[in-house]
């Protein structure tokens, strides 16, 4: 027993000796956060993005389930709201019921803030307590629902809005301890009409501008965060950010639905860092989707996705090779040879794989294949 006490004492002294130079964690009182949840009925993507003066906000706020919906639980966040909310959406309940059921069992309901979006647009109940309730904002379309709730004890400025974008995306934006209402208003405007917002509000950060230049859910969510920050954002400052997007069957290898799951746990500028991760991750996300639709027989969609990757990186030999496969499988033999030869020019080491790749069988049977084989002798 004495040995254990001595060891513990030594460890305590060592910890004390090092503590003077160690980074001191920031206090986590009065956590300030702003977020967006969204559903795209065209692509089927659901997503959440969030920024907060809080360490590792991605471990607390965002939840999503492809084909079901998305949840952002924040302010004094209740981490049961995400799983329970998605479970009740999956059971077919409307968002008015989902929100009521979550809050009714929560003694601290007035300190909660939550954004929800649901796939499926059944009407709200006529006697819903959220009809004409100033604490909530909701929209309903034929395809989906969105709702934003802010408890009366959320710290100023706090509030949220829900809406439908000009391209049909349904969304809710919300935040607490913000510099003002214009933070949420800017997020709303960027979600509703991203092109118009960017024309009027060009962003100085090139990393963020590149991240929002591709028309997908990740770009839209990133833009909403950047728009909110451009109006002051979190009144306590910046620390962490996260972005989660799910789309049925579009995760790695088609085995899951996770298209993006990006987290910046602690950074001086989490917006820039999140954009950098999107820019790194997008080619992989697009490739995962492209492979999935390619082997499902949607050759044109796969071709478009691989082409997008090549436009993002014109030295990406693998993307040009995959584009050649999509063309070959879709019956465009000429384009298949063009892209394959370009890929092999960039990376001659891919030749041996191409000789055995069944995705290129339509090229293997063409007389021009002998010209590809001749590269072995060069």
CATH numbers and ranges of domains, the chain: 33-283 (3.60.20.10), 297-377 (1.25.40.10)
Q: How far is CA 356 from the centre of its chain?
A: 37
| CA–CA gap between residue 141 and residue 122 (Å, rounded) | 8
Omega cis (within 30) before 157: yes
Burial class from Cβ neighbours inside 10 Å (0-12, 13-18, 19+) for residue 24 reads: exposed
* 122: Cα within 13 Å, side-chain hemisphere: 10
The encoded tokens of residue 374 equal 């001749």
Asked if 232 and 178 count as a contact pair (C-beta separation under 8 A), the reply is: yes
Q: Could you tell me whether strands 159-164 and 170-176 are parallel, antiparallel, or unpaired per DSSP bridges?
A: antiparallel
| CA–CA gap between residue 57 and residue 334 (Å, rounded) | 49
Question: Over the Cα atoms of the chain, what is R_g?
Answer: 25
Q: What is the mean pLDDT of each run of 10 residues along the chain (378 residues)?
A: 42 41 48 91 96 93 97 93 97 94 93 95 76 88 93 92 96 95 97 96 94 94 97 88 95 89 97 97 93 93 95 92 97 97 96 95 95 86
| CA–CA gap between residue 172 and residue 191 (Å, rounded) | 9
Cβ neighbors of 320 (< 8 A, separation 6 or more) are 310, 339, 340, 342, 343, 346
| CA–CA gap between residue 340 and residue 327 (Å, rounded) | 10
Percent composition of the chain: helix, strand, coil (DSSP 3-state, to 5): 45, 20, 35
Question: Which pLDDT score, from 0 to 100, does residue 13 have?
Answer: 35
| CA–CA gap between residue 281 and residue 378 (Å, rounded) | 36
The encoded tokens of residue 83 equal 């799983």
| CA–CA gap between residue 172 and residue 76 (Å, rounded) | 18
| CA–CA gap between residue 299 and residue 311 (Å, rounded) | 18
| CA–CA gap between residue 264 and residue 194 (Å, rounded) | 24
Q: What is the pTM of this model?
A: 0.86
Question: Which pLDDT score, from 0 to 100, does residue 17 have?
Answer: 41
Question: Which pLDDT score, from 0 to 100, does residue 378 have?
Answer: 66
Residue 309 is classified by DSSP as: H
Asked if 52 and 239 count as a contact pair (C-beta separation under 8 A), the reply is: yes
Other residues' Cβ atoms within 10 Å of the Cβ of residue 366: 17
| CA–CA gap between residue 145 and residue 164 (Å, rounded) | 10
Burial class from Cβ neighbours inside 10 Å (0-12, 13-18, 19+) for residue 362 reads: middle
Asked if 86 and 68 count as a contact pair (C-beta separation under 8 A), the reply is: yes
Q: Which of 39, 101, 102 is nearest to 68 (CA)?
A: 39
| CA–CA gap between residue 46 and residue 92 (Å, rounded) | 17
Other residues' Cβ atoms within 10 Å of the Cβ of residue 9: 10
Question: Which pLDDT score, from 0 to 100, does residue 201 have?
Answer: 95
- Residue 99's alpha-carbon distances to 59, 96, 132, in angstroms, are 21, 5, 15
Asked if 98 and 88 count as a contact pair (C-beta separation under 8 A), the reply is: yes
Asked if 172 and 150 count as a contact pair (C-beta separation under 8 A), the reply is: no
| 3-class state of residue 124 by DSSP | coil
């Amino acid at each position: 027993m004495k040995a254990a006490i001595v060891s513990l004492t030594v460890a305590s002294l060592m910890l004390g000796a090092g503590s003077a130079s160690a980074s001191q964690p920031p206090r986590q009182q009065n956590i300030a956060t702003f977020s967006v949840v969204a559903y795209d009925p065209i692509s089927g993507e659901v997503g959440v993005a969030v920024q907060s003066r809080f360490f590792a906000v991605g471990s607390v706020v965002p939840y999503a389930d492809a084909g079901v919906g998305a949840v952002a639980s924040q302010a004094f966040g209740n981490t049961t709201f995400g799983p329970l909310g998605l479970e009740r959406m999956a059971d077919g309940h409307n968002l008015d019921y989902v929100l009521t059921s979550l809050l009714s069992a929560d003694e601290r309901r007035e300190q909660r803030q939550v954004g929800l979006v649901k796939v499926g647009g059944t009407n709200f109940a006529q006697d819903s307590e959220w009809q004409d309730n100033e604490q909530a904002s909701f929209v309903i379309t034929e395809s989906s629902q969105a709702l934003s709730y802010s408890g009366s004890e959320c710290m100023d400025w706090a509030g949220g809005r829900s809406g439908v974008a000009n391209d049909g995306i349904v969304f809710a934006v919300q935040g607490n301890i913000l510099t003002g209402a214009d933070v949420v208003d800017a997020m709303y405007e960027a979600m509703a009409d991203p092109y118009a917002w960017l024309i009027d509000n060009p962003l100085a950060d090139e990393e963020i501008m590149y991240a929002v230049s591709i028309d997908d859910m990740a770009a839209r969510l990133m833009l909403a965060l950047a728009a909110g920050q451009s109006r002051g954002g979190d009144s306590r400052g910046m620390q962490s950010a996260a972005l989660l997007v799910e789309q049925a069957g579009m995760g790695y290898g088609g085995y899951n639905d996770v298209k993006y799951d990006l987290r910046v746990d602690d950074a001086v500028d989490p917006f820039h860092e999140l954009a950098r991760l999107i820019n790194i991750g997008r080619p992989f996300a697009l490739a995962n989707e492209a492979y999935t639709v390619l082997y499902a027989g949607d050759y044109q969609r796969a071709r478009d996705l691989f082409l997008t990757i090549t436009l993002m990186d014109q030295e990406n030999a693998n993307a040009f090779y995959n584009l050649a496969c999509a063309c070959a499988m879709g019956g465009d033999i000429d384009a298949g040879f063009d892209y394959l030869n370009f890929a092999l020019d960039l990376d001659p080491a891919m030749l041996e794989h191409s000789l055995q790749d069944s995705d290129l069988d339509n090229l293997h049977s063409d007389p021009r294949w002998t010209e590809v084989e001749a590269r072995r002798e060069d």
